[in-house]
Amino acid sequence: MLRASQNLPQRLQAVHARIAAAAARANRSVSEITLLAVSKAQPLETLRALAALGVHDFGESYLNEAVDKLEALATLPLTWHFIGRVQANKTRIIAERFQWVHGLDRLHIAERLSAQRPFHAPALQVCIQVNLAEEASKGGVAPAQLAELARAVAALPRLRLRGLMCLPPAESDPERQRAWFARLRALRDTLNARGGPLDTLSMGMSADFESAILEGATVVRIGSALFGPRPSRA
């Protein structure tokens, strides 16, 4: 099997081309869309190679692994996004090391992150994860509880609420994919009509990012389309 880093330039170019094509279909500028490389379970050399190709945003889900990578690549101008589930006993490391958290879904965790964000760092940028289909296996706040959580998070001094994130049920039909992403956008628009301003929609992964871009995604979180199938973590 090819190591991911061997055909990384081609894969990155293909992802950029697909993002550009979806943006053109939606009459959007590619400059509104951030490619977040989901590098969980990828070796350090692969991250280094991708950074050398101009990717600056990396998403990690497993904290111990992420901290090792962050330290090894500390001299590079990278932005680190924590995209996994945030456990209460891990908030300090996340508050100290990351610039973004995408999976916020509980006020208790938000309060800890705000309290533990170092005073010398800018406010931690966060997205609230919404569990659109209310799936028991997934994190995220139920749509009915979103407004209350958003209000409380927006009031925390060391967090900056940027927007919403979702991980909807897998759908193969692009129209059905778009319907989930349209719901997240509508929730964001409703919050913005009451104050806002939330500028971020973190939605779309390898299997559905074009649909997400058509519905307004500003951050697409892409792993396997960039790196190939993920190595097992065993």
Ligand X SMILES: *Cc1c(COP(=O)(O)O)cnc(C)c1O
Interface contacts to ligand X, rule CB under 6 A: 38, 40, 61, 83, 167, 205-207, 221-225
Q: Which two tokens stand for residue 110?
A: 């938000």
Q: Which two tokens stand for residue 63?
A: 């904290």
State the nearest-atom distance from the C-beta of 165 to ligand X, in Å.
8
Nearer Cβ to ligand X (146/165): 165
Nearer Cβ to ligand X (190/224): 224
State the nearest-atom distance from the C-beta of 25 to ligand X, in Å.
20
Measured from each CB, the residue nearest to ligand X is: 223
Nearer Cβ to ligand X (130/225): 225
Separation of first and last alpha carbons in the chain = 18
State the nearest-atom distance from the C-beta of 156 to ligand X, in Å.
22
Q: Calculate ∠ Cα 137-143-146, nearest 5°.
A: 110
Nearer Cβ to ligand X (84/216): 84
Q: Which two tokens stand for residue 50?
A: 């991708």
State the nearest-atom distance from the C-beta of 116 to ligand X, in Å.
22
State the nearest-atom distance from the C-beta of 214 to ligand X, in Å.
17
E strands, the chain, in order:
34-38, 57-60, 79-82, 100-104, 124-130, 159-166, 200-202, 219-222
Nearer Cβ to ligand X (149/225): 225
Q: Give CA–CA dist 23/215, Å, rounded.
A: 10
Render the burial of 199-221: b for 16+ CB within 10 Å, e for the rest.
ebbbbbbbebbbbbbbbbbbbbb
